[in-house]
Amino acid sequence: MALPSPDHSPSTTPSGRPRANFPGSGLAKGLAVTLRTMTRRSVTAQYPDAQPELPPRSRGVIALFEENCTVCMLCARECPDWCIYIDSHKETVPAAAPGGRERSRNVLDRFAIDFSLCMYCGICIEVCPFDALFWSPEFEYAETDILELTHERDKLREWMWTVPEPPALDPRAEEPKEIAAAHKAAEKAAAAQAAAEAAAQQQEGPQ
């Protein structure tokens, strides 16, 4: 037979909290909460006239930026509900230089998400290696027919413009490599253009 631990008395719980001293104390505490709530003025948001203030990371719907999609099918394979439907075809890209080899690339034909099956886990967004999927706070997409909850890429593209901007970086953080490379390329292009203009002016000068 297990003996009570000497660390606490019968008037306290094993975690050290005091036990109720009289029956009905829980009911009294609940009534006290009710009375405190009754004295407060209730505020009702008149939706849809007044839109709710959603948190910045709300999971409304999934938006598609199809220019970044390479049809790698990773999002569809990792989706636990199998609610992402992707169709594509291959196109031959001619060689960029003479004597080069032709290449083939995938072209997106269909990208659809069945939101009647989606459980908003965000796995597809996390695994996308090219940042083609984003969370949108849009939530007003209810339909009267469950079959109409399968939204195609045109609708997913419209939701892309409702995606909020990412939070600002730490001012002491390093500049992203992509932005640094873009700035470097822009500086090189500007320097080359300035050199070309200077050379043109020198040629025009003697004349």
pLDDT digits (tens, 9 = 90+) for 143-189: 899 999 999 999 999 999 988 887 777 778 777 777 778 788 889 98
Q: In the prediction, which pLDDT does 8 show? A: 47
pLDDT number for residue 207: 55
Task: Of 122, 119, 117, give the one whose Cα is nearest residue 149.
Answer: 117
Q: Average of pLDDT values for 42-47? A: 83
Most confident of 27-36, 108-117, 189-198: 108-117
- Among 155, 129, 125, which Cα is nearest to 140's? 155
Count the helices and strands in the chain (H runs, E runs): 5, 5
Task: In whole angstroms, give the CA distance from residue 207 to residue 202.
Answer: 9
Confidence of residue 15 (pLDDT cuts 50, 70, 90): low
Residues 55, 173: Cα–Cα separation, whole Å: 25
Q: Tell me the C-alpha distance between 207 and 191, whole Å.
A: 25
CB 136 within 8 Å of CB 62: yes
Residues of the chain above pLDDT 90, percent: 35
Return the pLDDT at 122: 92
Q: Which distant-in-sequence residues (6+ apart) come within 8 Å of 61 by Cβ?
A: 115, 136, 138, 139, 141, 151, 156, 159
Residues in the chain: 207
Residue 170 burial (CB count, 10 A): 7
pLDDT at 86 exceeding the cut of 60: yes
Mean pLDDT on 115-141: 92
Segment 118-134 shows an average pLDDT of: 93
Per-residue CA distances from 102 to 98, 105, 135, 199 (Å)? 10, 10, 37, 38
20 has a pLDDT exceeding 70: no
What pTM does this model have? Answer: 0.60
